[in-house]
Structure 1
């Protein structure tokens, strides 16, 4: 595949990564959804969802779920900001930018926010007949986060980032 550099691509990727970080904070702490059945109402945030499995034999599930849904995507966004922000301003790459970018690329298949949204959609279809479901702001923030992540990945040319890292390191 031939990849050509896009004008202002680094700036767009930085803005999308910053947007994703803000959306991640909203997705973690705001109400994710509300279930109402038999007169009882239950609100839940993403943090509540992760912590629901935090006791007993399911504790490893909590760690894996938190890592795949929150920690790894956040680490990717922060890593991209660390690598691309100095170069977007025309400066030399940050110290250890190449290993950080390599790590960010290694995390890409493991950051599974998109898979979580699909899983939630399937669960909502199954539960929809049993209870009244209201989607909270965190759900929409998470959906927006997935869209922003897809846009960021489409804007980013990994080959161009590596070439820019190499060229700016030498100058």
Structure 2
């Protein structure tokens, strides 16, 4: 009989493998679909804490700062992400506005705060806070609904058409959002779910 603690499941193809500790600089990869399963790094918790805190700060900034400045025929307007969403907040489109704001701003912010609650105590004290396992499970459940990357790609496609009709200047929030997407990619790349769950289980 094999202890289930010694097994690791591939998140892509669900194949079960015996969990081995890779050496520094090595990776544990699924033999079936080649998904990276474990990549040990020194100071991983500290890096994730810093990246999650950066994501939270950038998200708060994008809420209040102008996203775009549009001018056409002498008329101009500055618009933030919230302003753009609230412009369609009447009638049958209200649920769509709520879903957009939640998936683009609230869920990514909530996920960043949950990660901070889980990882920051591990980074600084070596022990997680009470309820950290539940918080981390919530952050993983929210990941498919965090669509900041989809939003910025949609904006890029839309702006290609808008620029032929008006003069468009990217605001501070646009660049913050672009940086946020890049940082999120690095954060998910540094995040070793196996290591976090092992730490939470041991505590």
1:11-30 mapped onto 2 (5 Å cutoff): 11-30=46-65
In 1, the alpha carbon distance for the partners of 2:127 and 2:38 equals 23
**Paired residues, what number?**
168
Match for residue 97 of structure 1 among 124, 132, 150: 132
- Give how far 1:84 is off: 0.6
1:65 alignment partner in structure 2: 100
- Taking the aligned partners of 1:49 and 1:107, their CA distance within structure 2 comes to 24
How high is the TM-score relative to the length of structure 1? 0.95
Give the number of the structure with larger relative contact order, counting CA–CA contacts within 8 Å between residues 6 or more apart: 1
Q: Which residue of 2 aligns with 1:118?
A: 153
Give per-residue Cα distances to partners, 1:125-166, cap 9 Å, x unaligned. Answer: 011100000000000000011011111000001111101111
The aligned residue for residue 181 of structure 2 is 146
Deviation of the 1:75 alpha carbon: 0.6
Alignment match, 1:76: 111
Q: Please state whether the residue corresponding to 2:68 is helix, strand or coil.
A: strand
The alpha-carbon deviation at position 92 of structure 1 amounts to: 2.2
> How far does the alpha carbon of each residue in 1:39-75 deviate from its partner, in whole angstroms, 9 at most, with x for none?
1001100110121121111100111001100110001
Partner of 1:43: helix, strand, or coil? strand
What secondary structure does 2:78 align onto?
strand
Quote the RMSD (CA, aligned, Å).
Answer: 0.9
1:31 aligns with 2:66: yes
Structure 2 unaligned spans of 5+: 1-28, 30-36
Q: Could you state the TM-score of these two structures normalised by the residue count of structure 2?
A: 0.81
Runs (4+) of structure 1 exceeding 4 A deviation are: none
SS of residue in 2 equivalent to 1:89: helix
Q: Using the alignment, how far apart are the partners of 1:106 and 1:4 within structure 2?
A: 22
Higher helix share: 1
Q: Which has the larger radius of gyration?
A: 2
Match among 53, 76, 87 for residue 122 of structure 2 = 87
